[in-house]
Chains A and B, each alone.
Chain A
Amino acid sequence: MNAENRPILEVKGLKTHFHTKRGVSRAVDGIDFTLRKGETLGIVGESGCGKSMTSLSILRLIPSPPGKIAGGQILFKGKDLVSLSEDEMRKIRGNEISMIFQEPMTSLNPVIPVGEQIAEALRLHQKMSKKEARDKAVEMLKLVGIPSPEKRAKQEPFQLSGGMRQRVMIAMALACTPEVLIADEPTTALDVTIQAQILELIKDLQTKLGMGVIMITHDLGVVAETCDTVAVMYAGNIVEHAPTNKIFSDPRHPYTQGLIASLPKIHEDQDELKTIEGSVPSPYNMPLGCRFASRCPFKQPICHERQPELAAQPDGVKVRCWMYTSQWTEFQQQEAVK
């Protein structure tokens, strides 16, 4: 990560809400982050924390209705994606910003040969001729490490294995050399030995092509191995954003600490795992104060009353917690007096 690397994607105060019969679900509720060229940003969190909704919002793929981007900006090279028309958005999607989904079988067309599916994107975005696009598709399949790519290009998705389908997805996502690649749980459906291959491939291609990558995952192992910085999400908010080594060596937010402590360790034996008591608040009924407060071991009355800001620490780690504010000792003293 070089200092001169300019940001290519800036998300500011993004809010994605779903209007349903049960009320308004605040799936993503005011998040900010910046992605630089060549950087890999990890977004981690447990189910329902809003990590996938964030990525779908960036590509404007939120099903609407009921979903709606309720506020904020998504600046891609200075352009606000939120205010673009559908036509303009289509030119960016799959061309300058691409996405890899978790389950390749549901995102590939089952009745079209995979080579043709890759070629389609090239003809649409790069205005290639049929022949050029076909050749480029085979070249892409080769790049992602599919053996005998000419033969495979003519096959349909069901004839490929899970790992190979995921490679096809990656080939398709990268065909137009995007500047931002969003990988939403790209290896969750794969076996570990195949996962290792795919992660290696993504890393490798990133260095070759210099893309910014957003890696969305629930697997902290994947984060540790691939990401430069990590944003931890909880109940629609980013609660901590820090360089990867800091997240693991010195987690600040009580949720991050709990998350890391609850992982079973592969290199040591433990008698009992640490757990986080309680469960995530309902997105329809978010608490007024800090969203983690009900499960937090350090909570003070202030935590239930007001939500803390995501604030930068002196060393650049951003954390959303009252404990790291200048008022914290005051709160504690007030409590002690009472």
Chain B
Amino acid sequence: MQAQAEKKLLLQVENLKQYFPVKSDSLFKPKSYVKAVDDVSFHLFEGETLSIVGESGCGKSTTGRAILRLDEPTDGKVYYSGQNILDLNKKEMRKLRGDLQVIFQDPFASLNPRQTVKQILNEAMAIQEVVPKPKRMERMLELLGYVGLPPEALDRYPHEFSGGQRQRIGIARALAVNPKLIICDEAVSALDVSIQAQILNLLKKLQNQFQLTFLFISHDLSVVRHISDRVMVMYLGKVVEIAEKKALFDSPLHPYTKALLSSIPVPDPELKRERVILKGDVPSPINPPSGCRFHTRCPFATEKCNNEEPALRKLGENHFVSCHYADELAK
């Protein structure tokens, strides 16, 4: 959204790995792991929106949680303004959480049902010590104004609000501590389309107003197209493609991205398009396929894909793809 030259790096993720141990059948068998996120690297510029898309189990939410250290990552580095946040101790991390906020899918599960909106917002500000006590009331009213809720909302409980309004409370809470980066984990997925549109507009407005950076995790590609500057596609714990939004939607390079884009039902009965329907299901992440993880469902797979794991390589400006044959398929 901003001029090319003055892009500042906000967050850099290097070789992030998140393995979860699986109970093995026998004591003596080697332990197996779900490799939910397996060697993922990317960066995030200040003020931009990067989306992570993929199907369930691809590791998109796990990536978001690992960055915030909500689950402790197995390996890797996450640099935020120059320091590796995985090295921070609890106290330092808590301080940093003011900069890094998150909005979850289900606002009902992430808001305390026994707290009024006032208590919810107050608690956030108290923990981060962002606003001195006497000024908090004023700040709370200001926050409600930003997210489009009436002042009366302060004394009400989460259950008294509709889904869209609850999501607004979640956004207000995230904003309360003056964050720089907000991770939106399926933040609009549970909402009806007309409400979803309201929340998407609100997020965009707030981004401009406060120069926020978004890491937007979603499975809905139309929403992603609307909100992002860049898009990262994941499959079974790996990054398969990262590109500027326009490049990714107009000329996707990875066969998986192509299939994903062509499977979305489009609300336009006139539109006739070529459809790539993938065969089969996503394989289990416990024993992912060898070589390229997508080769079991890929229409172009060869022997090489079975044996050799493709690296993420640059093809075009800001366009990275991990496929052995991406350049040939593009022709």
Contact = CB atoms under 8 A, between A and B. Distances in A.
A199 B265 contact: yes
Interface stretch (B61-69, B178-186, B277-285): B277-285
Interface string B183-205: 00000000011111110110010
A258 interface: yes
Which of B163, B197, B267 neighbours the largest number of chain A CB atoms within 10 Å of its CB?
A: B267
A115 interface: no
A192 B266 contact: no
Interface string A177-210: 0000000000000011111110110000000000
Contact of B55 (A193, A260, A262, A274): A193
A279 B166 CA distance: 13
Contact of A249 (B192, B222, B261, B270): B270
Contacts, number: 120
Interface residues of B, number: 41
Contacts of B164: 279
B249 interface: yes
A161 B280 CA distance: 10
A163 to B, nearest CB: 5
Which of B56, B193, B198, B275 neighbours the largest number of chain A CB atoms within 10 Å of its CB?
A: B193
Contacts of A218: 192-193
A192 B264 contact: yes
Nearest to B246: A269
Contacts of B201: 272-273, 275
A267 interface: yes
A224 B197 contact: no
Contacts of A324: none
Interface string B262-294: 111111111100010110011000000000000
Given A196-B275, A225-B265, A264 B222 contact: yes
B153 to A, nearest CB: 14
6 tightest CB-CB pairs across the interface, nearest first?
A221-B265, A191-B55, A46-B192, A196-B263, A264-B226, A262-B197
Interface of A: 46-47, 161, 163-164, 191-197, 199-200, 218-225, 244-245, 248-249, 258-260, 262-267, 269-276, 279
Given A47-B192, A197-B277, 16 more contacts: A192-B55, A192-B221, A196-B265, A218-B193, A219-B265, A221-B265, A221-B266, A249-B270, A262-B193, A262-B196, A263-B193, A263-B267, A264-B225, A270-B226, A275-B197, A279-B164
